[in-house]
Structure 1
Amino acid sequence: MTRGLRTWGEAGAPEVLLLHCTLAHGGAWKGVARRLADRFHLVAPDMVGHGEGPSGDPARDYHDQATEHALGFLPEEGAHLVGHSFAATVALRLAIEAPGRVRSLVLIEPVLFAAAPDGPAKSANAEKLGRMGMKVAAGDTRGAARIFLSVWGAGEDFDELPEAQAARMASQMWIIGAQRAALHDDAARLLPRLGQVACPVLLMEGSTSPPVIGQILDMLEAGLPQAERAVIDGAGHMAPVTHPDAVAGALADFLARA
């Protein structure tokens, strides 16, 4: 593994760039990537503020930094692009702003909350985000991480995590606040530009995920010219980690047609 970068498969095969979710690292893709390595060359970098990726500049917009960093891994000749959670919004931005370098786009549970209609599902998420923000402001980053994992984790109990992992997640809670403008206010102006996405798009969700995810995907599907949906049965938000077989199968099917 190159520092901050994981690869699977043989160079020269069709390339797939995998962008991981918040509080993870490129290794989160290993279950999916190993199932596709006989057909593709898969590349998974650590994102800004994660793993061995860049630490990030607090004076700059976080979404801008994440997008610039990810763009550096997209070859000029193009690649298939897969993003999960926050990174799915980065992937969507790349498909809009660098269309010649994105052959197809897979968005797994993009948390672009600005796309969801006002209502109970959106309010429930906003309430939890507010509670996390208050915990961080009070210096209780562990409490904030505990709330985050209860909604967006893979079912793990924060208090039962190895100490090193718990400490790392707590130290990264600043990222949640740094993402707010892009996710809740659409500061990157993704929604008005959905019609500019020129490639085929797969929108993927877990069947047990928070209802706001389905509402977000409804809006994206309506605005994207070439979008289709896939549901991973029994999975929640962390489907690439918890259900790698099903996610890899859906990806393989889509990429074979894209």
Structure 2
Amino acid sequence: MPRRFRQDAVKLPNGLEMHYHEWPGQQPTLIFLHPSLGYGRMWEFMAEAMGDRFHIYAPDQRGHGRTDKVDGDYSAQEYAEDLAIFMQELGIDRAVLVGHSLGGRVAQVFAARYPQRVSALGLIAGPHLSNFYGTRDSARSVLEGAYGTISHPDEFGSKEEAYAFMRPIKPFTHDPDAALHHRIEHNYVHTDDGRLIPRYDKIRVAQGLAHLSYNLRPYAARVECPVLILRASLGAALTREQADEIARFWRNAHVVDVEGHYALQLENPAGAAKAITTFLSNAGVL
């Protein structure tokens, strides 16, 4: 039986109405932060795999899901401030942060700015190389990715059309069919005439993607909590050698290989959940 959860929204003092999913459970509190083009409920499989050992929150970040698409620069710093206010409004003093891609950048910045509020940090599929080694080639790739996102369709005529668009696009190529259908069901508005309209704002997403070349080394140096880098062992984005090298930018970081290509929370939620739980136990957080 799927683990029960509730959906709600909170109006933040900065004017943003943030939608979130909550899976009640024991302590510690764990906050999942989705990637660009993602949504809070995409962590549903992970929440089920982790059982009620944690009290889990998964917000739709600004520009995504049912949360407002307000004006702003959509940098990791701005997202991190949203998270700080979100935690304050919900009375969350301290949490384990687990982020993927955009969510990982937000978690890294938040952990540096608010070290007393983070007990551990998990980075799904590892951090992006472009945030630590700003080469010309990586900058070109970042800008091309942002431009490609702007070119995404504004709507699809049917579920089948949406599926045909998503199936060949990296990094979604290796999503199981169940995960792709989950995206289609929960990341789009379904109209009465069968059309699907993305819940994310592709322009705002592209703004955020442009920050993939922002230097996060200074933030890593300020993080005080233990850090887990979950490397997707079958993916090409981060080799084991690269992951080990990046881990040295933190005071206390560990690399664990989890079978998968990229979106481990969808490809291998049980493996990712086990790696996180083991890491938190060894770090004394549990």
Superposition TM-score tier, normalisation by shorter sequence: 0.7 to 0.9
Gaps spanning 5+ residues in structure 1: where? Answer: none
Q: Which residue of 2 aligns with 1:97?
A: 113
Offset at residue 14 of structure 1 (A): 1.4
Q: How many residues align?
A: 243
Q: In the TM superposition, what is the alpha-carbon distance from 1:131 to its structure 2 partner?
A: 6.3
Question: 2:62 aligned with 1:36, yes or no?
Answer: no
Change (3 A) 1:173 1:219: farther
Q: Which has the higher helix share?
A: 1
In structure 2, the partner of 1:168 is: 198
- Aligned partner of 2:206 in structure 1 is 177
Q: Which residue of 2 aligns with 1:150?
A: 169
Which position in structure 2 is the counterpart of 1:69?
82
Give yes or no for contact 2:231–2:238 (8 Å, CA) kept in 1.
no
Q: Which residue of 2 aligns with 1:9?
A: 24
RMSD (CA atoms)? 3.3
Partner of 1:107: 123
Q: What is the deviation of 1:117?
A: 6.6
Shift in CA distance, 257/56, structure 1 to aligned 2, threshold 3 Å: farther
Residues 99, 122 of structure 2: 8 Å contact kept: yes
Distance 1:199 1:231, change over 3 A: same
* Structure 1 residue 223, shift from structure 2 partner: 0.8
Question: Structure 2 counterpart of 1:89, which letter?
Answer: R
Residue 213 of structure 1: how far off its partner (Å): 6.7
Offset, 1:8: 1.2
| Structure 2 unaligned regions, length at least 5 | 1-5, 10-18, 155-161, 191-195
Measure the CA separation in 1 of the matches of 2:205 and 2:242. Answer: 18
One-letter amino acid matched to 2:212: L
**What TM-score, normalized to structure 1?**
0.80
Please tell me whether the aligned partners of residues 203 and 229 of structure 1 are also in contact (alpha carbons under 8 angstroms).
yes
Deviation at 1:216, TM superposition (A): 6.0
- Relative to 1, partners in 2 of residues 1:256 and 1:88: Cα closer, same or farther, differing over 3 Å? same
**Inter-CA distance 212–24: structure 2 relative to 1 (3 Å threshold):** same
CA contact (8 A) 1:8 1:37 kept: no
TM-score (norm 2): 0.72
* Whole-angstrom CA distance in 1 between matches of 2:149 and 2:122: 33
AA matched with 2:108: L
| In 1: Cα distance, 2:75 partner to 2:258 partner | 30
In 1, Cα distance between equivalents of 2:224 and 2:189: 43
Percent identical among aligned pairs is: 25
Give deviations 1:6-59, integer Å, cap 9, x for gaps: 11133x52111111111111111111111223211111111111112231314x
